[in-house]
Amino acid sequence: MRIISGKNKGRKINPPNDLPVRPTTDMAKESLFNILNNLIDFDQIDVLDLFSGTGNIAYEFASRGAGSVTAVDISHKCVRFIKQISEQLNFDQITIVQADYRKFLNRNYRKWDVIFTDPPYALENITDIHQMVFDNQLLKENGLLIIEHDQTVIFENHKGFLDHRNYGKVNFSFFRQVK
């Protein structure tokens, strides 16, 4: 796993094998951030990385100049690892929260420019994430929600749907918050 761009470009991160994660592949992550380069200005945005796992996506946003990145995961091991790497890379803008995604989304009143979610592909009712984000109005105006999922999940008819991209077994669905 490596950071693709920004102040820590090329930095390799080696998570321990015992983390309960399925990290986004470097190829899919690079493709995702190529798309995002055309949609957002990374400088000083507020980002939520839900199901953060290794922190792979959080580090990429922080390296590119995000003002704040909130990394949320339920696993104590993942939270501890993200904290360790954030300190090593001097990512003071990363806030790490250990929480269940449902409780976090339903009890949060903050708004973000970008919400990236990479839930387990086997998560039941994965579409509920979209519903919670939009029902709780967690995106700023023109904010982006990105959900990583497998090919069996179809989001095209959901509110704010913008685009779908497929990279092998990795799928990204993009949604935009508009007034």
The rounded distance, in Å, linking the Cα atoms of 129 and 40 is 22
Overall average pLDDT of the 50-61 stretch: 96
The rounded distance, in Å, linking the Cα atoms of 177 and 161 is 9
Q: With cut-offs at 50, 70 and 90, classify the pLDDT of residue 20.
A: confident
Strand partners, 49: 71, 116
Residue-level pLDDT at 16: 81
The rounded distance, in Å, linking the Cα atoms of 156 and 164 is 8
Overall average pLDDT of the 62-72 stretch: 97
Q: Are strands 94-98 and 68-73 parallel, antiparallel or unpaired?
A: parallel
Phi, psi of 144 (to 5 degrees): -115, 135
CB 74 within 8 A of CB 98: yes
- Examine the pLDDT at 92 and tell me if it is beyond 90: yes
The rounded distance, in Å, linking the Cα atoms of 132 and 124 is 14
| 3 state SS of 127 | helix
In 3D space, the residue among 140, 179, 133 whose CA is nearest the CA of residue 155 turns out to be 133
The rounded distance, in Å, linking the Cα atoms of 68 and 54 is 17
CB 95 within 8 A of CB 65: no
CB 52 within 8 A of CB 78: yes
pLDDT digits (tens, 9 = 90+) for 141-178: 999 999 999 999 999 999 999 999 999 889 999 999 97
Q: Could you tell me what percent of the chain has a pLDDT over 90? A: 82
Residue-level pLDDT at 22: 76
Q: With cut-offs at 50, 70 and 90, classify the pLDDT of residue 17.
A: confident
In the chain the domains, ranked by start, together with CATH numbers, are 26-176 (3.40.50.150)
CA atoms within 13 A on the CB side of 92: 0
The rounded distance, in Å, linking the Cα atoms of 5 and 2 is 9
- Examine the pLDDT at 138 and tell me if it is beyond 80: yes
Residue-level pLDDT at 18: 83
Residue tagged 């939270």 (tokens) = 79
Q: With cut-offs at 50, 70 and 90, classify the pLDDT of residue 41.
A: very high
Overall average pLDDT of the 5-21 stretch: 88
Residue-level pLDDT at 132: 96
